[in-house]
Chains A and B, each alone.
Chain A
Amino acid sequence: MSASYTGIGWNRQKRIYDAVMIASIVIFLGAFYGLGRVLFRPPHDATDETLLIRGLGSCAIIMLHIVLWIGPLARLQPRLAPLLYNRRHLGVGTFVLGLCHAAFATVQFHGFGNVNPLVSLLTSNTQYGSLARFPFEVLGLAALLILFLMAATSHDFWNRNLTPRFWKSLHMCVYGAYALLVAHVSLGTLQQERSPLILATVGVSVAVTIGLHLAGARREARTDRGSEPAAGDSGPWIDAGPAADLPMDRARIVCARGGERIAVFRHAGGVSAVSNVCRHQGGPLGEGKIVDGCVTCPWHGWQYRPGDGCSPPPFKERVETYRVRIVAGRVRVNPTALAPGTPVEPAVIEEGARV
């Protein structure tokens, strides 16, 4: 967290993260280019431009897969949270590689001709009515524009000023960019190369992407089914399970039918409930932990006091809070959200409850 904006708030984690990312890119491109020089000997050699265009494009789409896989992987295995912490750098790296791929390809295939290269890009092939002849380049261009919007707004400055909700919606467009890029590859390279290995690579990658997201969604669906209304309560209170089973400094996520997810935390002062959605990037607060007396998001470490949903000074973020009480050893939550930052007295667990 930071109370002011800097270009990048560098720390050791980010440096290691970026070093691994850059090393992997260099190794991939080096292997691709190096083997290209060894395998394709004159006169059957590929030009440097061809190797660069293909290597950069392949690397970019592989990185986009990793960006998409990190979310559900960190959900399924919380120990992978460090991959998620600096994911934005992976996203920006993906855009930069895609931009290099597009720039080289545009100069190579559309430059040095009788029309502007960008005009050529849009007009050289207009056979949109045929899958076999579809202008796949336009799909890549559309994906690149989406990735540009995401890379350009990746900084927290834009998260704050565009509002987290709009920012999140904008960045969910990554799935649109992904679909466009899969189509770009399928209607381009796959139609030309026809290698079973490339076809299998694309197929397996798409299957893994879908599978991981389904697994993550299935896990969340259990929560979203909704908790039962609390027995014997006349109001809208829902049951959040035995208070004694709530681990100290951790949460249970509950949800009224059709309602928002609520993170019910046990902390030193008792039991409190706040929105499960972090104000920063929508991270699942209920999968976080109470650290230094604050609910701490597992994605980027943003913090909120459990009693009023406010970030500790000098930060000003606030999340919704919920009324909580304990009846006969069971936690009950009123699913009607209170305004962000509304103080709510924690429910006290009777002495002797197991921790």
Chain B
Amino acid sequence: MNAADEFYIGWSGRTPAGYARWSRLAASVLIVSALVGGLTLLGAQRDPGPGTWDPNATVTLVGRVRADPGPILLIDAVEGDGRVPARAALLVSTGKFGAAGRVANMTGDPVRVRGTLINRGGFVVIELVDGAEAVTAASSAGNPEWPVEDLGIRTVRGEIVDPKCYSGAMKPGEGKVHRACAVRCLSGGITPVLVGRDESGLVGGFVLAGPRGEAINQRVLEFVADPIVVAGRVERHGGPDGVLVMRIDPAAIRRQ
């Protein structure tokens, strides 16, 4: 049979030589393309960020908590061998839920907190373990003060994220692809954080609250993951290694 007479019938179980050659070529191209394509598309991905989280490494911390302007723990001591790279941490629950309700009646009290550390460049979030053992009364705390430094009115440009995913629970945990997840997290009570910088170069995660420290989760949902600019009063809670809090009117948020 000459090449022109060749004809392929799949069910016949025979592949004419000309068809076989092209099939082998196609299979080779496919397999090489799979290798090159996988490597190339991965190589084009953006750095997922420096967040870390070991969900199996539970730590116990002693300090004091406040429920507003967000569930914040000022850390006085770490029990055991653990180490925390900041003086203050935001508290969240497992899943996509906040923790404000779990510390609402303990404002200013010395507490013992059990959870796992989520850390991105010193911005620390603690995911509380489930159950009542997550936050218990402590007999004493080293420092009864709750230092707050007023940094004045600042204009910050950046992106509203949910701090749990952004800090390392999900990598990457920012941007449009993550928008729906962040909306779910904020809807579940996780305190919104504005990641960005102000006009003076102050960079970081600004815990967002209303002018009186009230939660504004529902009012910022439509701006999540968008590049925004907003002005508000900025405070630093817990000293130099503490956490930045920004009190804003959500109506003043503008997309860039």
Q: Closest CB-CB distance, B9 to chain A, in whole Å?
A: 4
The A28-51 residues at the B interface (CB cut-off 8 A) are 28-32, 35-36, 39-40, 42-47, 49-51
Q: Are B10 and A301 in contact (CB under 8 A)?
A: yes
Which of B21, B22, B41, B168 gathers the greatest number of chain A CB atoms within 10 Å? B41
One of B48-56, B104-112, B149-157, B199-207 at the interface? B48-56
A58 to B31, CA, bound (A): 15
**Contacts A23-B31, A125-B179, A125-B183 given; does A13 touch B13 at CB 8 Å:** yes
A40 to B226, CA, bound (A): 26
Q: Are B8 and A20 in contact (CB under 8 A)?
A: no
Q: Are B171 and A45 in contact (CB under 8 A)?
A: yes
Please, which residue of chain A has its CB at the minimum distance from the CB of B179?
A125
Q: Is the interface of B mostly helix, strand, loop or mixed?
A: helix
Q: Which residues from chain B contact A298 at a C-beta distance below 8 Å?
A: 7-8
Which of A28, A55, A133, A194 gathers the greatest number of chain B CB atoms within 10 Å? A28
Please, which residue of chain A has its CB at the minimum distance from the CB of B27?
A20
What 1/0 flags go to B187-231 for Cβ under 8 Å of A?
110000000000000000000000000000000001000100000
What 1/0 flags go to B159-179 for Cβ under 8 Å of A?
000000000101110011111
The answer to whether the Cβ of B129 comes within 8 Å of any Cβ in the partner chain is no
One of B32-40, B67-75, B240-248 at the interface? B32-40
The answer to whether the Cβ of B80 comes within 8 Å of any Cβ in the partner chain is no
A247 to B96, CA, bound (A): 70
Question: Which of these, B15, B52, B96, contacts A13 with CB under 8 Å?
Answer: B15
The answer to whether the Cβ of A161 comes within 8 Å of any Cβ in the partner chain is no
Of the four ranges (under 10, 10 to 19, 20 to 34, 35 or more), the interface on chain B belongs to 35 or more
**Contacts A11-B11, A80-B26, A192-B175 given; does A113 touch B42 at CB 8 Å:** no
The answer to whether the Cβ of A193 comes within 8 Å of any Cβ in the partner chain is yes
Total number of A-B contacts with CB less than 8 angstroms? 195
Q: Which residues from chain B contact A137 at a C-beta distance below 8 Å?
A: 180
**Contacts A125-B180, A301-B11 given; does A29 touch B38 at CB 8 Å:** yes
Q: Are A31 and B171 in contact (CB under 8 A)?
A: no
Q: Are B184 and A113 in contact (CB under 8 A)?
A: yes
Question: Which of these, B23, B34, B172, B180, contacts A83 with CB under 8 Å?
Answer: B23
A81 to B11, CA, bound (A): 12
Q: Which residues from chain A contact B94 at a C-beta distance below 8 Å?
A: 112
Q: Are B176 and A24 in contact (CB under 8 A)?
A: no
Which of A35, A188, A247 gathers the greatest number of chain B CB atoms within 10 Å? A35
The answer to whether the Cβ of A252 comes within 8 Å of any Cβ in the partner chain is no
What 1/0 flags go to A237-273 for Cβ under 8 Å of B?
0000000000101000000000000000000000000
The 6 closest A-B pairs by CB, nearest first: A31-B38, A85-B10, A112-B95, A124-B180, A113-B96, A79-B22
A contact residues vs B (CB 8 Å cutoff): 1-2, 9, 11-14, 20, 23-25, 27-32, 35-36, 39-40, 42-47, 49-51, 54-55, 58-59, 62, 66, 77, 79-83, 85-86, 108-110, 112-115, 120-121, 124-125, 127, 132-133, 135-137, 188-189, 191-195, 197-198, 201, 247, 249, 288-289, 291, 296, 298, 300-301
- In the complex, besides A14-B10, A109-B184, 13 extra interface pairs with C-beta distance below 8 angstroms are A11-B10, A13-B15, A45-B171, A46-B48, A47-B171, A49-B170, A79-B18, A124-B184, A125-B180, A193-B44, A201-B41, A201-B44, A288-B7
